[in-house]
C-alpha cells in the first residue's frame, strides 16, 4: 500500500507543476500578445548626434596641434596651425602688385593733369593769336586803303615813286603778317586737338588703373583669406574625436582630420522592420531603455521617418535585376527625440550607444 501511494503523489505533483507551467506560459503569451497589439519594439537602435568633420581649406605642413583626444572645445577655438610661410609670401606679392597699380594710377593722373594744363595754355595761346589776327586785319585794311590812294596819286605824279613803293611794301607786309598769324592759329588749334586726345587717353588709363587697383585689392584680400585658413578653428561647441594629425605631417585641402561631436541634444535612430510600420505615426510616445543605464527609462517621441530604407542608401544598394531575387524584410530608420533633452542622463549619452525602443501605438 505504501509503494502505490508514492507514485500517485509524484504524478499529482507533476500534474500541478505542468498545470502551473501551462497557466504561466499562457498568461505570458496572452500578455505578450496584448502588449504586441499596442506596442512595437526593436533593439536595432542607437544614439545619434550631429558630428562636424574638421576639414582644412588649404594644404600644408602641420606646425602645431593645440588639442587632445576627447577634449571639449568651443566654437572658434584654435585646433591646428599650419605652416603659413608660403601663404605669407603670396600676401606680400599681392600687396606689391597693389602698390604697382597705385603707382600706375598716380602716373596716369599726373599725365592727365599735364595734358589739361597744356590744353589751357593752348587755348590761351589761340585767344592771343585771334586778337592779333583781328589787329592784323585792321592793319591790312589800312594798308590797302593807303596803297589804293597812293596808286591813284602816282598816276598823276602827285607823289614820288618811293612813296608809292613804301605803301605797297606796307600792304604786302600787313598781308604776310595776317597770313603768319592765321598759320599760327591753325597750328595752335591742331596742338590743342592733340593734347585733348592725350588727355582723353590718360583719362582712360586712370579708369584702367582704377580697375587694376580693385583687382589687386581683391587679390590681397583673397591672399589674406587663404592665409587665415592656415589656422584651423573649431566649427561649433563639442567634443573632439581621435586626433590623427601630428606636427610635421602634410595634409591636403579637403582631407578630414578628425571630427567634433556637437554639444547639442542627441537623438535615437531606430531601424524598424517594414512590417512594424503599419500603425506607427508621428508624435507617438516612445520608451527608451539604454544599455549603459540598465533599469532606467527615458521618455521620447517619434519625430520623423526616413524617406528610404537603410539598404537603399547603402554604399552598394541591392539590385535584383539579375534574377537572383530573395525577398528580405527591409528596415526603415525612424528618428526619435527625447521629451526632456535637459535630463542629465540625456546629456551623458554618446553617439553609437545601443538602446531598446518601445513605441506606444495608442
Q: CATH number of the domain that 62 lies in?
A: 2.40.50.100
CA distance 264 to 50: 8
209/286 same-domain check: no
User: Which grid coordinates belong to 325?
Assistant: 531575387
Cα–Cα distances in Å, from 207 out to 95, 109, 114, 189, 199?
A: 20, 10, 17, 27, 12
CA distance 286 to 288: 6
At 108, the pLDDT band (50, 70, 90 cuts) reads: confident
Does 28 reside within a domain? Answer: no
pLDDT of res. 200: 65
Does 128 reside within a domain? Answer: yes
144 membership: H or E segment, kind and range: helix 85-155
76/114 same-domain check: no
What is the pTM for the complete model shown?
0.66
Q: In the β-sheet with 60-65, what is the strand arrangement from edge to edge?
A: 231-233, 78-82, 60-65, 250-251
92/44 same-domain check: no
pLDDT of res. 322: 59
Beta bridge partners of 41: 358
At 91, the pLDDT band (50, 70, 90 cuts) reads: very high
213/101 same-domain check: yes
Does 355 reside within a domain? Answer: yes
296/193 same-domain check: no
Last residue of a domain, one of 208, 227, 246: 227
At 180, the pLDDT band (50, 70, 90 cuts) reads: confident
Report which listed range, 34-43, 221-230, 255-264, is most confident: 221-230
At 165, the pLDDT band (50, 70, 90 cuts) reads: confident
- Average pLDDT value for the chain: 84
At 173, the pLDDT band (50, 70, 90 cuts) reads: confident
CA distance 104 to 213: 9
194/275 same-domain check: no
CA distance 112 to 80: 52
92/76 same-domain check: no
77 against 24, higher pLDDT = 77
Q: In this predicted structure, which of 196-200, 243-247, 254-258 has the lowest mean pLDDT?
A: 196-200
Name the domain count of the chain.
3
320 against 233, higher pLDDT = 233
239/334 same-domain check: no
User: Which grid coordinates belong to 39?
Assistant: 506596442
332 membership: H or E segment, kind and range: strand 331-338
Domain that holds residue 285: 39-50+263-360
282/248 same-domain check: no
CA distance 331 to 350: 23
At 1, the pLDDT band (50, 70, 90 cuts) reads: very low
CA distance 309 to 318: 11
169/213 same-domain check: yes
Amino acid at each position: 500500500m505504501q509503494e502505490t501511494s508514492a507514485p500517485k503523489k509524484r504524478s499529482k505533483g507533476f500534474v500541478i507543476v505542468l498545470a502551473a507551467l501551462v497557466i504561466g506560459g499562457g498568461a505570458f503569451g496572452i500578455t505578450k500578445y496584448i502588449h504586441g497589439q499596442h506596442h512595437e519594439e526593436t533593439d536595432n537602435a542607437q544614439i545619434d548626434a550631429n558630428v562636424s568633420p574638421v576639414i582644412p581649406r588649404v594644404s600644408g605642413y602641420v606646425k602645431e596641434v593645440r588639442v587632445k583626444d576627447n577634449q571639449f572645445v568651443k566654437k572658434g577655438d584654435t585646433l591646428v596651425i599650419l605652416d603659413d610661410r608660403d601663404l605669407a609670401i603670396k600676401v606680400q606679392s599681392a600687396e606689391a602688385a597693389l602698390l604697382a597699380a597705385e603707382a600706375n594710377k598716380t602716373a596716369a593722373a599726373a599725365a592727365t593733369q599735364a595734358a589739361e594744363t597744356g590744353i589751357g595754355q593752348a587755348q590761351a595761346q589761340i585767344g592771343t593769336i585771334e586778337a592779333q589776327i583781328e589787329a592784323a586785319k585792321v592793319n591790312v585794311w589800312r594798308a590797302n586803303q593807303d596803297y589804293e590812294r597812293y596808286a591813284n596819286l602816282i598816276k598823276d605824279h602827285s607823289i614820288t615813286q618811293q612813296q608809292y613803293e613804301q605803301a605797297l611794301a606796307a600792304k604786302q607786309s600787313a598781308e604776310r603778317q595776317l597770313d603768319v598769324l592765321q598759320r599760327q592759329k591753325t597750328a595752335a588749334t591742331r596742338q590743342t586737338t592733340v593734347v585733348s586726345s592725350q588727355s582723353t587717353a590718360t583719362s582712360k588709363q586712370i579708369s584702367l588703373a582704377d580697375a587694376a587697383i580693385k583687382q589687386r585689392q581683391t587679390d590681397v584680400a583673397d591672399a589674406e583669406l587663404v592665409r587665415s585658413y592656415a589656422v584651423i578653428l573649431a566649427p561649433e561647441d563639442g567634443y573632439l574625436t581621435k586626433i590623427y594629425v601630428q606636427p610635421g605631417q602634410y595634409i591636403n585641402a579637403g582631407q578630414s582630420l578628425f571630427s567634433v561631436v556637437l554639444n547639442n541634444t542627441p537623438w535615437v535612430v531606430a531601424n524598424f522592420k517594414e512590417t512594424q510600420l503599419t500603425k506607427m505615426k508621428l508624435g507617438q510616445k516612445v520608451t527608451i531603455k539604454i544599455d549603459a543605464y540598465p533599469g532606467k527609462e527615458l521618455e521620447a517621441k517619434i519625430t520623423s521617418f526616413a524617406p528610404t530604407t537603410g539598404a537603399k542608401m547603402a554604399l552598394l544598394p541591392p539590385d535584383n535585376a539579375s534574377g537572383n531575387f530573395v525577398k528580405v524584410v527591409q528596415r526603415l530608420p525612424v528618428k526619435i527625440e527625447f521629451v526632456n533633452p535637459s535630463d542629465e542622463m540625456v546629456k551623458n549619452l554618446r553617439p553609437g550607444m545601443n538602446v531598446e525602443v518601445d513605441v506606444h501605438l495608442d
